[in-house]
Amino acid sequence: MKKKNKPAKPQVREDERVEKSKKAVLAATYELLTKAGLSGVSVDEVSRRSGVAKTTIYRHWPSRESLLMDACSQLSSRPTVPDTGAIRSDLEQLACGVAARLRQPWATVMPSIIDAAERDKQLADLQSRIHSQMRAAVVTAIERAQERGELPKSQDARELVAAILGPILYRRFFSREPLDEAFAKNVVERALCKRD
Amino acid sequence: MKKKNKPAKPQVREDERVEKSKKAVLAATYELLTKAGLSGVSVDEVSRRSGVAKTTIYRHWPSRESLLMDACSQLSSRPTVPDTGAIRSDLEQLACGVAARLRQPWATVMPSIIDAAERDKQLADLQSRIHSQMRAAVVTAIERAQERGELPKSQDARELVAAILGPILYRRFFSREPLDEAFAKNVVERALCKRD
């Protein structure tokens, strides 16, 4: 307890300052991303909005791309894998979680990443990482169900993943219809109908 | 027969010239779209590539947006509805057709339209028209199957459409895995498993 009341050492204050400006840069990047998509983010504009000098930004992120990657990967943390003991409720929880994320403002950034990925190798890697994060928890839930004999080992996990994530992403980005829990649960029910 | 050998009237030649330059403009727009996405298309660049003067382009298309819409709608013609007499083979044919289209170069334009649709009302309308074209044939096939009693009337057509188009679009744009006929047929089989 006593130690906490001591004045912070200069190094700690320096670290705090660095952390604060990094946070401000990432927040400004996020704001620009959701407002204008990937192509709307320039280091100039991030500097202007965050009040952090360009030289400082480039000290932490050597390029615009690395800043984009960092901002995007912070937005796409891996969901935790539910373990309800039944594949249906596990997948329902995951599907509802993905639907909830896609209702958030940052989801609007996704098409600009996918668009850039069509032409830019570095952004294709970023897109692939974001997608892997989204998919990983679903794959784990499927594999656990296969281990306990609830799903046949012959079940192609990637096809089941497509049957779950596909219709949800389709609703958000292609048909732009409401993406509620009832829809997400129906998707899981339909996906699990075919068990081979 | 005799009439055909007569020299074309000036008006006909004029119409031909107009048609030719419109075609050149649309071809240049298409080329830019597939190469650089929506944001890569400017009237300046279209004029340069097609050799058609900007004033002529603006005579046919009052704005960049109307040119984009015209170029995109030419790319997204409505597929014909198969009528094999069985919903499964109808949907297989449609699913394989969509997969084949998504393997074409122009599919690379789709994410840039979806991206723009997130922020621009006019392009959201265009995206919605392209999607409606893609969906219409599937909906017709489902409704016919409902009429002949092959699918229950309670079947929500939009959910079935999502179960078919969703995984196919997901493979093309999100997981970027091979999109072959075997996958498309599996998608249909899974989608039809749940019949209510």
- Tell me the CATH number for domain A11-73: 1.10.10.60
Which pLDDT score is estimated for A75? 66
How many percent of chain B have pLDDT more than 90? 60
- Range in A11-20, A73-82, B151-160 the model is least confident about: A73-82
For residues A8 and A162, which has the higher predicted lDDT (pLDDT)? A162
Which pLDDT score is estimated for A1? 46
CA gyration radius for chain A?
Answer: 21
For residues A105 and A181, which has the higher predicted lDDT (pLDDT)? A181
The whole-angstrom separation of Cα A53 and Cα A33 is 19
Q: Which two tokens stand for residue A15?
A: 């670290």
Which pLDDT score is estimated for A46? 96
Closest alpha carbon to B95 in B24, B28, B191, B17? B191
Which residues in chain B are contacts of A177 at CB distance < 8 A?
Answer: 158
Residue A77 in this model has a pLDDT that exceeds 80:
no
Which residues in chain A are contacts of B173 at CB distance < 8 A?
Answer: 114
Preferred mutation among B102, B118, B139, B160 to probe A, highest tally of A CBs within 10 A: B118
Mean pLDDT of chain B: 89
Put simply, the answer to whether B159 touches A108 (Cβ < 8 Å) is no
Kindly give, in sequence order, each residue whose CB lies less than 8 Å from that of residue B107, ignoring residues fewer than 6 positions away.
B101, B172
Indicate the pLDDT class of residue A5, thresholds 50, 70 and 90. Answer: low
Interval B89-115: pLDDT, tens:
999 999 999 999 999 888 888 898 999
Which residues in chain A are contacts of B36 at CB distance < 8 A?
Answer: 119
B157: part of which helix (H) or strand (E)?
Answer: helix B157-170
Put simply, the answer to whether B193 touches A190 (Cβ < 8 Å) is yes
- For residue A90, which amino acid is it? D
Interval A33-52: pLDDT, tens:
888 888 889 999 999 999 99
- For residue B58, which amino acid is it? Y
Closest alpha carbon to A170 in B104, B142, B102, B92? B102
Interface pTM, i.e. ipTM: 0.86
Closest alpha carbon to A85 in A144, A30, A128? A144
Q: Minimal Cα–Cα distance from B61 to chain A, Å?
A: 26
Which pLDDT score is estimated for A129? 85
Interval B120-166: pLDDT, tens:
888 898 889 888 888 999 999 999 999 999 999 999 999 999 999 99
DSSP-based three-state secondary structure for B3:
helix
Put simply, the answer to whether A119 touches B108 (Cβ < 8 Å) is yes
CA gyration radius for chain B?
Answer: 21
Pair A137, A95: CB distance under 8 Å: no
A103 and chain B in contact, CB less than 8 A: no
A177 and chain B in contact, CB less than 8 A: yes
Which residues in chain B are contacts of A165 at CB distance < 8 A?
Answer: 170, 174
Put simply, the answer to whether B159 touches A191 (Cβ < 8 Å) is no
Closest Cα in chain A to B38: A115
Which pLDDT score is estimated for A15? 85
Which pLDDT score is estimated for A133? 85
Question: Once rounded to an integer, what is the mean pLDDT over residues A112-133?
Answer: 88
Kindly give, in sequence order, each residue whose CB lies less than 8 Å from that of residue B95, ignoring residues fewer than 6 positions away.
B164, B168, B184, B185, B187, B188
Which pLDDT score is estimated for A67? 92
Which pLDDT score is estimated for A49? 96
B168 and chain A in contact, CB less than 8 A: yes
Q: Please name the residues between 22 and 61 in chain A that touch chain B, using a CB distance below 8 Å.
A: 36-37, 39
Mean pLDDT of chain A: 89
Question: Once rounded to an integer, what is the mean pLDDT over residues A136-151?
Answer: 95
- For residue B47, which amino acid is it? S
Number of residues that this document lists for chain B: 196
A104 and chain B in contact, CB less than 8 A: no
Which pLDDT score is estimated for B1? 46
Q: Which two tokens stand for residue B15?
A: 């119409």
Tally the C-alpha atoms within 13 A of residue B32's C-alpha that lie toward its C-beta: 22
Q: B87-195: what fold?
A: Tetracycline Repressor; domain 2 (1.10.357)
Residue A157 in this model has a pLDDT that exceeds 90:
yes
Q: Which two tokens stand for residue B6?
A: 């007569």
Put simply, the answer to whether B114 touches A119 (Cβ < 8 Å) is no
Which residues in chain B are contacts of A171 at CB distance < 8 A?
Answer: 162, 166
Put simply, the answer to whether A163 touches B158 (Cβ < 8 Å) is no
B122 and chain A in contact, CB less than 8 A: no
Question: Once rounded to an integer, what is the mean pLDDT over residues B172-194?
Answer: 94
Which pLDDT score is estimated for B160? 96
Distances (CA, A) of B189 to A109, A169, A196, B185: 33, 20, 11, 6
* Same fold? A11-73, A87-195: no
A133 and chain B in contact, CB less than 8 A: no
Tokens 């796409």 sit on residue: A76
Pair A26, A74: CB distance under 8 Å: yes
Which pLDDT score is estimated for B9? 65
Number of residues that this document lists for chain A: 196
The minimal CB distance from B37 to the residues A115, A167, A177 is found for A115
The minimal CB distance from A166 to the residues B119, B170, B194 is found for B170
Q: What does the domain layout of chain B look like in residue ranges?
A: 11-73, 87-195
